[in-house]
Structure 1
Amino acid sequence: MVSRMFRLVTEVDKARRDLLRSRLRETNTAASSVLRALRGTPHERECPLHVWVLDGAGALAGGLVGHTWAAWLHVTYLWVDGRHRGVGLGSALLAEAERGARGERGCTASRVETWDFQAPDFYVKQGYEVVGVIPDYPPGITEYTLVKRLG
């Protein structure tokens, strides 16, 4: 229970979120020799990584949104429009993100989370290995965490 000296606030507040994130990073870096070793390197900052596929008319056919940090690529979203599936666009998006993360940013590994109704088999075919399974997240669905070493 929170004492009367404090007030719980539940509204969305981006400034407080950013402050909390910054302070958590400072605490984690101070406590971790690995994170301390990153200070002052390109790996210290979280850097966005986006890859887009446009169709002949310039419309979005697919895309990958992720970021790199601590020598890792984290794939947040990968999507291909249903009209363009099955022709290798998902594989091309992922390969380009991995290439950019490995070459330009020095990443040595990649990670992604996906649900059982999405694409765990796709990632396995791309060389990813399942390292975590959370059943019933959300209820009735299984979440997978997969990783790949970028050689």
Structure 2
Amino acid sequence: MVSRMFRIETGDDKDRRDLLRRRLLETNTAASPVLRALRGTPAERQRPLHLWVMDEADELAGGLVGHTWTTWLHVTYLWVDGRHRGTGLGSRLLAEAERAATERGCDAARLETWDFQAPDFYRGHGYRETGRTEGIPGGHQDVHFHKVLAG
């Protein structure tokens, strides 16, 4: 008989987090003919894409954190320091991420932004709104975007 004793733990454990991510990618790959047809292991198909802009004082002026997975770019964070907003730095970061993702074989991008952050910025860069999640604390919405990348 198999024991049904389980223990739930809390805390941040990088090794377990990485193992969970690998196992999920393996499960997804096994379930999807499209994913099975892609080259490389699941871990090789998900790669970080991080860009940093340092100012003349060597301080962080802006950055983009995301990853590419199979043929998609996911932008997780894009931020520009208030002193540098309106200079085109955010546009340059986004364009560079899209360029790098295209070089990795990506043909689409997705991201989320809250309604008070930058939805118009992303619309202006060719992103199409695909949905909203309501009920964000403070009465806000999480706005979801998609873009087909030029190849």
- Inter-CA distance 90–7: structure 2 relative to 1 (3 Å threshold): same
Residue 27 of structure 1 and its aligned partner are, at CA, apart by 1.2
Residue 45 of structure 1 and its aligned partner are, at CA, apart by 2.0
- Inter-CA distance 54–16: structure 2 relative to 1 (3 Å threshold): closer
CA distances 1:86-131 after superposition (whole Å, capped 9, x unpaired):
11111111011111111x2111011111101111111001100011
- Inter-CA distance 4–100: structure 2 relative to 1 (3 Å threshold): closer
CA distances 1:3-30 after superposition (whole Å, capped 9, x unpaired):
9622222233222222222211111111
The alignment's TM-score, normalised by the length of structure 2, stands at 0.88
| Partner of residue 53, structure 1 | 53
| Partner of residue 124, structure 2 | 125
The secondary structure found in structure 1 opposite 2:91 is helix
| Partner of residue 149, structure 1 | 148
Q: Structure 2 CA distance, aligned partners of 1:7 and 1:42?
A: 28
- Preserved CA contact (<8 Å) 1:43 1:70: no
Q: Structure 2 CA distance, aligned partners of 1:39 and 1:118?
A: 37
CA RMSD of aligned residues (A): 2.1
Q: Structure 1 CA distance, aligned partners of 2:23 and 2:17?
A: 10
| Partner of residue 84, structure 2 | 84
CA distances 1:24-60 after superposition (whole Å, capped 9, x unpaired):
1111111101111114279952111122222222222
Structure 1: any 5+ residue segments left out of the alignment? Answer: none
Q: Structure 1 CA distance, aligned partners of 2:37 and 2:4?
A: 41
Residue 62 of structure 1 and its aligned partner are, at CA, apart by 0.9
The secondary structure found in structure 2 opposite 1:136 is strand
The alignment's TM-score, normalised by the length of structure 1, stands at 0.88
Q: Structure 2 CA distance, aligned partners of 1:142 and 1:50?
A: 26
Structure 2: any 5+ residue segments left out of the alignment? Answer: none
